[in-house]
Structure 1
Amino acid sequence: CPGRQEMQNSLKQVQKLLSAHEASYLQSLRTLKKKINLLQGTAKQPARANNNTCPKLDAPANGRKLGKVLTVGHEVHFLCDAGYELVGSESRICQESLSWSGQQPLCRDSNECASAPCLNGGTCVDEVNQFSCICAKGWAGATCQSPVPTFAAAGALPAATTGPFVRPSRCTQVQGTTHCTCEPGYTISGRDSNTCTDIDECELFHNGQAGRLCLHSCVNTPGGYRCTCPAGYNVTRDGRSCKDIDECATRQNNCTRDQMCVNTYGGFQCVRVDCPRIRNATYVKTSPMRCERNPCPVDNKACSQAPNSFSYHYLSVVSNLSAPRVMFRVTAMRPMGDTLRFSLLGGKQARRHFTVQRSDRQTGQLMLVSPVQGPVTLEAEVEMSELEKRVQLGRYITKVTMFVSQYEF
């Protein structure tokens, strides 16, 4: 049997061996910890790059800004308050260069009196999306264009021949000959040179060589005429055509806070953008008009095949718009695969009026293929798919809603 001294020597050797192993183990742990920290630091760098944002945009004076997300690919929209018009970009996109597309917009006072529409010394009063004229003495009409009648002395006319559409003529004696004339807008009534009757300009010039007097409706007035427009329109400064009233900008709408007002020709629409509900995938709104898919679990293939994003756009067009015509373009900001594919989704109605064509490698365009008689609402969905060696990497859906008005002007 080994002696006591030999046992103590053996134990000391075992203790030294264990101490050496412990030191080596601690050194390995420190080395491993450094590598893990290095890997974590490397992994965080792309994340910081992805979190880079474009500079913050301010709302224009006398206007509003819609959209708070400042990362690449997101849009910010601008609106002006009532009585102001937008000058510059209506929407701006955060680009890969971390700069905004377009130019910073301004809200300019839409002074309807800037072109001096009131004639013959009339005073212009600027109103919301229109103007009115205070005419000088002796003039009348929407733009003070008509002289107020002044009658020369004449014999009293029978009651049946007096009224706003019948006037006495102005007669003078020249070398024994009587000459009778009528004020503008009237003509001598047959053989009776003492009576002037109103000219119905609406009937006389309904289909003249210069076109109709009024592009919508003409109303005959004593000595003249006036043009009228349907509800939702105002008469333009030339007095002949009609211009749309922007009920959204002038706040002449009943949209609630959770809805967005979309101006249409002759009216408005209150729309609410809700993210879609799709099985195995969830979406979150990243801007007023865009929803993006939340990250998918690694083993959830159905989620990864769902669309990556949905974007919503609303267009207002007049009735019987000429076709074929490009209505909307979809462009890939930063394609990841080797192929982009564009296609039209939806039923027979969408395919009857629309088609999708490629304009270049990264852009597809929604085409209107036939004129549409309004009023009607049309919807189309454009799908953009990214492929790598024919394997799908992502899908992006753009939903376009088109409000077609009843009238063509």
Structure 2
Amino acid sequence: MRVLVAVIAPIYWSFAHQSGSTVNGFTLTRGIFKQESQMEFATGELLRITHIARGLEAGRELLLDVVVNGFVPESIARAAVLLQSFSEHYVQTGAGQLYAGSVQSFLQDGRRVRARCNHTIEYDPTLGFQPTLVQHVRARSVEASFDPASEELRFQLGTSLHAGANGDQCPQGFTKDPQQHYCLDQNECAAPRRPCSHTCHNSVGSFSCSCPGGYTLALDRRKCRDVDECMQGTHACHLGQRCVNLVGSYRCLLRCGAGFRPGVDGAGCEDVNECMEGSHACRYNQLCENTVGGYHCACPRGYQSQGTGRPCLDINECLHVPSPCAFQCHNLQGSYKCLCPPGKALLRDGRSCAALERAEGNVTDAHRGAHLQWLRLPNPSHGRSYYTWFSFSPAGNTLRRSSRAQCPLGFTRRSSACIDLDECQAQNLCQHECKNTEGSYRCLCPPGYRLLPNGKTCQDIDECADGRTRCSPAQLCFNTRGGSQCVHTPCPAGYWRGTSPGVCLRRCLGDCSLGGPSALQYKLLPLPFGILAGHDIVHLAALSPGGAPHNRTLFHVLEQDPGSPFAVRAERGRGVISTLRPLHAPGLYHLKVQAQAMGEQQVHSVFIILISVSPYPY
């Protein structure tokens, strides 16, 4: 009962010392009023108290009926509690209506405990208004004692009333009525610029915000931030499952080993194709070969390995013994070419030279004394040219179609003609696009890519590394897959640019825990098309001023694009960005992530992340 002195008996308002033009509650209401009080403790307990004042009994004592309903925290009920001095402001909210609010403080075993208190008072409106719109009550020297045996609560306190310098002005959260007689509550929740990010609850002179399930109020008590059930341990994932935090929720996925990830149904693990997703570390002229649970970097034919992390080295086949060519060998990148002496032609094996003489497109058969010549003829039915052999006999001066010659490489025989073979009809010849040519084909890559020496695989051109894109000192060069751009990375006032690109460090004197984050970091991530859901993209590390990562750090998203396919979770002191759904559409996404060590007020790092998803899976 000792903690209820401030609300169980309104004597401090009814009989407060009047000064100047102020009037206390008894003078204003003549001792007849109804007061509804509510006290809310920080731990969630709520008390509601109704007072009915029936005037003076026998002209000497104020007669009150009091009903108390609710709970007081057990910790307060069992401890030694000392009430502290407090003040309340009484606002005229209508004819015969008052509202008062305050924050009550208690010393509980030497520790300060607070509770929020408010009152609504109704009295006969014909008795008029307070002299000023607002009157302030100051209560001090509050003492109380309760005797359980006699069930008596004894208390005393000194109270005084004053109008204050702004007694004719409505306090914050109120506005004057058109006649300037009293203060009307402002409904902050109905304002065009809503004060809450999610749900707003209006109250007299104030408002409060609340969040949907899976969210909690941020430090400003207005915005909602995601609750990381995985970090806080409030999830229901079983042993052998991995908790993945989602915005407003979480998922339980099967814990898979390195090189594997949970399947779409979450019931099993599937191999990660690092080669398809572009998460491998093979060099530019190496071939990535996927394996179960990993991958292997191999060299194309005509190249040899120089070891892990080093590019493939061209093999000079012309140095082999015996030589691969019958006459002369010419080395090429990844291959070689055989040459023949004048008057001889290279045979179909690509190595040997034939004893044939070539003159103006004619080939002479020295044994039979006849000429064989390729003629290119149009073929209207096929829409492309074809070749056929004709033999010319000098003795008979005749030209006949010959059927005994074989079609050259890249052609197929049809009747007596050699039709160009469209190699592009075959599957998987080229990674991107196949273009048929006469007698052969060639692979094409999209803009911003180069063809690797194997002639089939496309590799992104790093325009930032080769100097094609030059950016200013206040910008970072962002090499996206198939292009590049300069991203503006300004350091705010009070920050200096660190030695690492895209890092801003805060200058502070004295206590560095005050102010903004200690570091602002820009991250640029190019991703291929087609990455599946539940795939970890990048790990974020928040560094202390000494440069060491914090082991217990909370990560949450401050800003992100609507419908963003990415989520952030904390894992072993690092922030992990993962995919919520498959990346089946190209696009550019922005995220702003805050890292804060558990139990500390200081924000250690804010990450501004730009993610580019390519239209291609390479």
Partners of 1:336 and 1:233 lie apart in 2 by 37
Q: Does 1:367 align with 2:578?
A: yes
Q: Structure 2: which amino acid aligns with 1:393?
A: Q
Q: Does 1:221 align with 2:437?
A: yes
Partners of 2:374 and 2:611 lie apart in 1 by 62
How far is 1:243 from its partner?
Answer: 1.0
Tell me if the contact between 1:372 and 1:404 (Cα under 8 Å) persists in the aligned partners.
yes
Tell me if the contact between 2:553 and 2:570 (Cα under 8 Å) persists in the aligned partners.
no
How far is 1:218 from its partner?
Answer: 1.0
Aligned residue in 2 for 1:10: none
Partners of 1:133 and 1:188 lie apart in 2 by 28
Check 1:124–1:406 CA distance in 2 against 1; reply closer, same or farther (3 A cut): same
1:14-163 → structure 2 map (5 Å cutoff) = 114-115=314-315, 121-124=329-332, 136=339, 153-154=371-372, 159-160=377-378
Aligned residue in 1 for 2:520: 310
Check 1:132–1:155 CA distance in 2 against 1; reply closer, same or farther (3 A cut): closer
Aligned residue in 1 for 2:587: 376
1:219-258 → structure 2 map (5 Å cutoff) = 219-256=435-472, 258=474
How far is 1:253 from its partner?
Answer: 2.1
Q: Structure 1: which amino acid aligns with 2:505?
A: E
The alignment covers a number of residue pairs equal to 270
Partners of 1:139 and 1:155 lie apart in 2 by 16
Give the secondary structure class of the aligned counterpart of 2:601: strand
Q: Does 1:200 align with 2:410?
A: no
Q: Does 1:275 align with 2:507?
A: no
Tell me if the contact between 1:319 and 1:405 (Cα under 8 Å) persists in the aligned partners.
yes
Tell me if the contact between 1:232 and 1:267 (Cα under 8 Å) persists in the aligned partners.
yes
Check 1:274–1:229 CA distance in 2 against 1; reply closer, same or farther (3 A cut): same
RMSD: 4.3
Check 1:284–1:370 CA distance in 2 against 1; reply closer, same or farther (3 A cut): same
Q: Deviations over 1:101-150 (max 9, x none)?
A: xxxxxxxx98876245999734336xxxxx9987745679xxx99x9998
Partners of 1:198 and 1:338 lie apart in 2 by 65
Pairing partner for 1:290 from 484, 492, 503: 503
Tell me if the contact between 1:117 and 1:237 (Cα under 8 Å) persists in the aligned partners.
no
Check 1:159–1:313 CA distance in 2 against 1; reply closer, same or farther (3 A cut): closer
Give percent identity, aligned residues only: 26
How far is 1:368 from its partner?
Answer: 1.9
Q: Structure 2: which amino acid aligns with 1:321?
A: I
Check 1:241–1:339 CA distance in 2 against 1; reply closer, same or farther (3 A cut): closer
Tell me if the contact between 1:151 and 1:170 (Cα under 8 Å) persists in the aligned partners.
no
Partners of 1:371 and 1:201 lie apart in 2 by 33
1:184-195 → structure 2 map (5 Å cutoff) = 184-189=409-414, 191=415, 193=416, 195=417
> Which structure carries more helix by proportion?
1
Aligned residue in 1 for 2:529: 319
Pairing partner for 2:560 from 344, 347, 352: 347
Contiguous gaps of at least 5 residues in structure 1: 1-83, 86-108, 126-130, 172-176, 206-210
Aligned residue in 2 for 1:386: 597
Give the secondary structure class of the aligned counterpart of 1:181: coil
Q: Deviations over 1:252-293 (max 9, x none)?
A: 22434553323221112222321135xxxx222223321122
Give the secondary structure class of the aligned counterpart of 2:564: helix
Aligned residue in 2 for 1:167: 387
Partners of 2:429 and 2:492 lie apart in 1 by 50
Q: Deviations over 1:289-342 (max 9, x none)?
A: 2112221676x9xx8142221111111111222232112212345579995321
Tell me if the contact between 1:356 and 1:365 (Cα under 8 Å) persists in the aligned partners.
yes
Q: Does 1:328 align with 2:538?
A: yes
Partners of 1:250 and 1:382 lie apart in 2 by 31
Give the secondary structure class of the aligned counterpart of 1:202: helix
Which has the higher mean CA deviation after the structures are superposed, 289-298 or 317-326? 289-298
Partners of 1:333 and 1:232 lie apart in 2 by 35
Aligned residue in 2 for 1:358: 570
Tell me if the contact between 1:337 and 1:387 (Cα under 8 Å) persists in the aligned partners.
no
Q: Structure 2: which amino acid aligns with 1:291?
A: C
Higher Cα radius of gyration: 2
Could you tell me the TM-score, scaled by structure 2's length? 0.37
Partners of 2:460 and 2:524 lie apart in 1 by 17
Give the secondary structure class of the aligned counterpart of 2:456: coil
Partners of 1:117 and 1:272 lie apart in 2 by 49
Partners of 2:551 and 2:429 lie apart in 1 by 58
Q: Deviations over 1:66-97 (max 9, x none)?
A: xxxxxxxxxxxxxxxxxx99xxxxxxxxxxxx
How far is 1:247 from its partner?
Answer: 1.6
Contiguous gaps of at least 5 residues in structure 2: 1-282, 285-308, 319-323, 365-370, 392-401
Q: Structure 1: which amino acid aligns with 2:314?
A: A
Check 1:161–1:342 CA distance in 2 against 1; reply closer, same or farther (3 A cut): closer
Q: Deviations over 1:205-227 (max 9, x none)?
A: 1xxxxx42112111111111111
Aligned residue in 2 for 1:53: none
Partners of 1:156 and 1:368 lie apart in 2 by 59
Give the secondary structure class of the aligned counterpart of 1:312: strand
Tell me if the contact between 2:378 and 2:384 (Cα under 8 Å) persists in the aligned partners.
no
Check 1:276–1:374 CA distance in 2 against 1; reply closer, same or farther (3 A cut): farther
How far is 1:159 from its partner?
Answer: 4.7
Partners of 1:199 and 1:274 lie apart in 2 by 57
Check 1:110–1:264 CA distance in 2 against 1; reply closer, same or farther (3 A cut): farther
How far is 1:168 from its partner?
Answer: 2.0
Q: Structure 1: which amino acid aligns with 2:603?
A: G
Q: Structure 2: which amino acid aligns with 1:352?
A: S
> Which structure carries more strand by proportion?
2
Partners of 1:252 and 1:269 lie apart in 2 by 11
Q: Deviations over 1:142-163 (max 9, x none)?
A: xx99x99985744785854699
